[in-house]
Amino acid sequence: EDGPVHLRLPPSLLMSDGIGGALRTGLRQVARKVRPNSEIDERIPVLDLFAIAGNAGVELIRGTIRSVGSVSIDPFLCGRRVRLQGRRHITIGRGALLEDGAVLYARGGGALVIGPSCVIGKGSVIELASGIRHAGGDFRLGPGSSLAEYCYVGAAGDVRIGARVMMGQFVSLHSENHEFAPGTPIREQGVTRAPIIIQDDCWIGAGVRVLAGVTIGSGAVVAAGAVVTGAVPSNSVVAGVPARLIGERS
């Protein structure tokens, strides 16, 4: 008895200019329907592109399912074990990517907005409220901005990030601080809050800490490991603990 017939194209055929080029064009068109600015490096083998596209397809199915019944969540790419808590406060733009283990915690807060084509990296956490003693703030991430793996954003005092901002791994933003006057246990003194604002087109290096009340001007670069406690001028380069001006983008 004849068994099922499996059609398998040899890698050499898939890599040929004609078929390979057609496949790249098709994948690029599909990608741009989800993320309009998508590009594909011609050096990536076609077989690898198929694997990447297949994984993205599964993520898009997950994100589409998560968006059903919500007027504020567009179809997005959703990794495994992604948690959306307080969905009625959450807005996710078209083509955004939430990687494996990302957490959006919006309960007890205001609005948590992820713009179109944004990326929230693996294991990253964004929370609007740190507990039930105080209502939380707002978080807004502009179009095309990204947080790399294992970032943390505490938005109790509001965090606003502009468009096309890049953040490296393990960046943390803290818009809330503890009072620590002598004579009273710190835990009993309450907190102070102030917004963090990061304007368009900034690059925040890996491991940076940004504290409450800081504004980082457009086009600024913050070197890896810096602790930012004060204002950063537009198009400047800062580094160190605390962060200090070391140059400017010409």
Active site amino acids: 178
Helix, strand, coil % in the chain, rounded to nearest 5 = 20, 25, 55
* Alpha carbons within 13 A on the beta-carbon side of 159: 25
Structure tokens at 28: 């690029």
- Cβ atoms 113, 86 nearer than 8 A: no
Distance CA 130, CA 123 (A): 18
- Cβ atoms 156, 186 nearer than 8 A: no
Alpha helices in the chain (DSSP H): 11-14, 17-34, 46-67
- Cβ atoms 121, 141 nearer than 8 A: no
Distance CA 125, CA 82 (A): 10
Strand partners, 123: none
| Residue 147 host element (H or E) | strand 146-147
Q: How many CB atoms lie within 10 A of CB 107?
A: 15
